[in-house]
Structure 1
Amino acid sequence: MNRRSVLAALAASGVLTTLTACGGADEPAATASSTSPTSTGGAFPVTITHKFGSTTIESAPSRVVTVGYNEEDFVLALGVTPVGSRTPLGDFDSAKRPWAVDLLPAGGIPSVGQSELNFEQIAALRPDLVIGAYAYLQQTDYDKLSAIAPTVGDLVPAGQPAGSDAAATWQEELAAIGKALGKEAEAGSLTAEVEGKFTAAVAANPSFTGKTVSVVLYNQGYYALDAADPRGNFFLQLGFTANPLSGSVSEEQLVQLDTDVLVVLGLGKAEFAQNAVAARLGAVTENRTVYVPTFASDFAGALGFSSPLSLPFALEQAVPALAAATDGNPSTVPADL
């Protein structure tokens, strides 16, 4: 699914975050920010290839600004506190996200924008690296950021053509950010650790493997999320097979959501069943549907971040509900997430 085709819906729902200008006199000054040393022996210079070309980082960065949808988590996971980061949009309170709360500074991380980037605030923070690996940057944004500091733009997934809007996997994002920070070894170890949690969940739940899953997001219309979106890909990492339906879903296409398992983001059962077609789906009537009624829930936030910090949390939340949806017993009702 084209990432930009549903950007407005995802951002408005709060599943993603977007960039807004929110600088001002009350913003924390650059000197009020702090960061951990980023180098643990990584070799520099390093070059990161991305949608806008490539960026060479000459030495270990010490002041990192993140401008994307989930990069703050990736940097925190590698032991670095950004000196500035984008402010999430939507109902989810990311400042209290349980998987990262212990890593966030007491005063928070200074904001560099929300729906639009505040380039003056970014410059005032004196970054020596800007990370926008999953940021939907425009060329003009990238050019302005690059004039401030070396900038890693949106990553292009392996096998995709240059300029593709498909999202990189969390593994690709973690590898690139680890390289940029001089923490490749840590990134590799963390990747293996998180992948091991998925492997254990699949082994413990053989009923997942081979089952077809539909992941649909509702925000003034239905959007089917596939493997090119991190939220859709989460369920495929658990052994499920993707529904080929992707993108905006019309009323006539709702019947195509009737797969072995259905995941509905943004609606509870009562709301979803107000649609007569949705109410008749076998996945609904036989309790094979997992509902995420609000984007303010911790699970919705974890799925939205799709980071090495949030994914283990999302697994703990999702696996019991998915097990109930795949146990073959219509009387078992999966818990809402």
Structure 2
Amino acid sequence: MNPNRFTVRPLLLAASAALITLVAACSAPAEDDPESSAAHTPVTVEHEYGATTIDHEPTRVVTFSTNWTDTLAALDIPITAEFVQKGYSGPNNHFEWTPDHESQIKVVDSLTSIDVAELAAFKPDLILAGYVGDQKNYDRLSALAPTIPVMRKGASVDTWEDITTTTGKIFGKESDAAELVTATQDKIDAFKADHPAAVGKTFTFAQFQQTGGVGAVNSTEDAAAGLLTQLGFVLNPKLAAENKGGATRSMISSERIDLLDSDLLVAWTLGDKSVYAKVPGWDSLTAVRDDTVVYLTNDNAPAFGVPSAPSVEYVIGLLDPVADEFA
């Protein structure tokens, strides 16, 4: 289990989280696409466990994380299979922001203990895994097919930019990937331009558990905080002070709910809003008083926690009405 996640990693990772959906597609690259019709050039991707070289253009791709799935679908790259974690893969195992694509879905209890025999049945020639837990799990997967775990050392989820750019390199769609990055950045810039009063406001991203436990992001190295920072918000300095250079999320005791006080609160539960009423001092939090809370469930939290280019637009849609409150 990822120590930087409050619960078993979603999509939410994954999102967010880095989060595995089975997709089957048989379409071949368009012959009139100069990038896809060109001979494949071997690509080496560096990652937390070393490097993986992809010698041939993959045709049977398996994804374990929604950010890879979203990006491949956005770039019209066929996916053979997606493994998704039970309870963390969206309504009917589909997230609202993921571009339409045909797929097979394999629901599993944990993305870090995949049954290799089940995976092998899909005959993958590339596994886009994201967070895999540890070296042992990576070795199990890479023995079956070239595998890409989290690329940034020390991270549990890669940035949407890195996922997009790497996808373009692997599949010979670098110009398409660059256009997707530019288009997504344009949306981020437009959000800040449309909501100048929101820029510089403090934010807290926290998960409220049924047991009463509360976990909150304490570093912009966390994917959710990184995205909110790109959108112009500033991490709650009281939580930032809790980071000691290790885990990017802190457990908050009921006596220190004041640590959650900020201009914007992104609050994530399993869906039961009655949890909030049990939080001591909930009604006194600035964001609760000012109606600047964004409420999330497992069905959309991965858009923040395992961000992809397609999920950025969805996140902006959730933040727009709250950002208007800062005008």
Q: TM-score, normalized by length of structure 1?
A: 0.79
Q: 1:97 aligns with which of 95, 98, 102?
A: 95
Question: Does the 8 A contact of 2:224 with 2:305 survive in 1?
Answer: yes
Instruction: Letter of the 2:232 partner, please give it.
Output: G
Match of 1:312 in 2: 313
Question: Does the 8 A contact of 2:108 with 2:114 survive in 1?
Answer: yes
Q: Following the alignment from structure 2 to structure 1, what is the Cα–Cα distance between the partners of residues 11 and 186?
A: 33
1:255 offset after TM fit, Å? 0.3
Q: Following the alignment from structure 1 to structure 2, what is the Cα–Cα distance between the partners of residues 199 and 118?
A: 43
Q: Confirm whether residue 224 of structure 1 aligns to residue 228 of structure 2.
A: no
1:114 offset after TM fit, Å? 4.4
Match of 1:83 in 2: 80
Question: Does the 8 A contact of 2:62 with 2:128 survive in 1?
Answer: yes
Map residues 37-186 of structure 1 onto 2, 5 A cutoff.
Answer: 37=29, 40=36, 41=38, 44-90=41-87, 92-93=90-91, 95-100=93-98, 103-105=100-102, 108-111=103-106, 113-115=108-110, 116-132=113-129, 134-156=130-152, 162=153, 164-186=154-176
1:279 offset after TM fit, Å? 2.2
Question: Does the 8 A contact of 1:130 with 1:151 survive in 2?
Answer: yes
Contiguous gaps of at least 5 residues in structure 2: 240-248
Compared with structure 1, are the counterparts of its residues 35 and 218 closer, same or farther at alpha carbon in structure 2 (3 Å cutoff)? farther
Compared with structure 1, are the counterparts of its residues 98 and 68 closer, same or farther at alpha carbon in structure 2 (3 Å cutoff)? closer
Q: What is the number of equivalent residue pairs in this alignment?
A: 303
1:317 offset after TM fit, Å? 2.6
Question: Does the 8 A contact of 1:3 with 1:228 survive in 2?
Answer: no
User: Which sits farther off after the overlay, 54-63 or 272-281?
Assistant: 272-281
Instruction: Letter of the 2:57 partner, please give it.
Output: A
Deviations 1:190-219 (A, max 9, x none): 011011001001001001111111111112
Q: Secondary structure at the match of 1:86?
A: strand
Q: 2:180 aligns with which of 186, 190, 196?
A: 190
Compared with structure 1, are the counterparts of its residues 79 and 258 closer, same or farther at alpha carbon in structure 2 (3 Å cutoff)? same
Match of 1:203 in 2: 193
Match of 2:290 in 1: 286
Deviations 1:65-89 (A, max 9, x none): 1123432112112211211111232
1:252 offset after TM fit, Å? 2.7
1:96 offset after TM fit, Å? 4.0
Q: Following the alignment from structure 2 to structure 1, what is the Cα–Cα distance between the partners of residues 78 and 193?
A: 35
Compared with structure 1, are the counterparts of its residues 224 and 203 closer, same or farther at alpha carbon in structure 2 (3 Å cutoff)? same
Question: Does the 8 A contact of 1:45 with 1:59 survive in 2?
Answer: yes
Q: Following the alignment from structure 2 to structure 1, what is the Cα–Cα distance between the partners of residues 170 and 265?
A: 38
Query: Which gives a bigger RCO, structure 1 or 2 (Cα 8 Å, sep 6+)?
Result: 2
Q: Secondary structure at the match of 1:4?
A: coil
Q: Confirm whether residue 254 of structure 1 aligns to residue 246 of structure 2.
A: no
Question: Does the 8 A contact of 2:11 with 2:302 survive in 1?
Answer: no
Question: Does the 8 A contact of 1:35 with 1:63 survive in 2?
Answer: no
Q: TM-score, normalized by length of structure 2?
A: 0.81
1:45 offset after TM fit, Å? 1.0
Match of 1:214 in 2: 204
Q: CA RMSD in A?
A: 3.0
Q: Following the alignment from structure 1 to structure 2, what is the Cα–Cα distance between the partners of residues 269 and 98?
A: 21
Q: Following the alignment from structure 1 to structure 2, what is the Cα–Cα distance between the partners of residues 318 and 202?
A: 11
Q: 2:230 aligns with which of 227, 237, 244?
A: 237
Question: Does the 8 A contact of 1:69 with 1:305 survive in 2?
Answer: yes
Question: Does the 8 A contact of 2:70 with 2:310 survive in 1?
Answer: yes
1:43 offset after TM fit, Å? 5.4
Compared with structure 1, are the counterparts of its residues 95 and 8 closer, same or farther at alpha carbon in structure 2 (3 Å cutoff)? closer
Q: Secondary structure at the match of 2:7?
A: helix
Question: Does the 8 A contact of 1:166 with 1:228 survive in 2?
Answer: no
Q: Confirm whether residue 8 of structure 1 aligns to residue 12 of structure 2.
A: no
| Seq. identity, % | 28
1:234 offset after TM fit, Å? 2.5
Q: Which is strand-richer, 1 or 2?
A: 2
Compared with structure 1, are the counterparts of its residues 238 and 19 closer, same or farther at alpha carbon in structure 2 (3 Å cutoff)? closer
Q: Following the alignment from structure 1 to structure 2, what is the Cα–Cα distance between the partners of residues 229 and 42?
A: 37
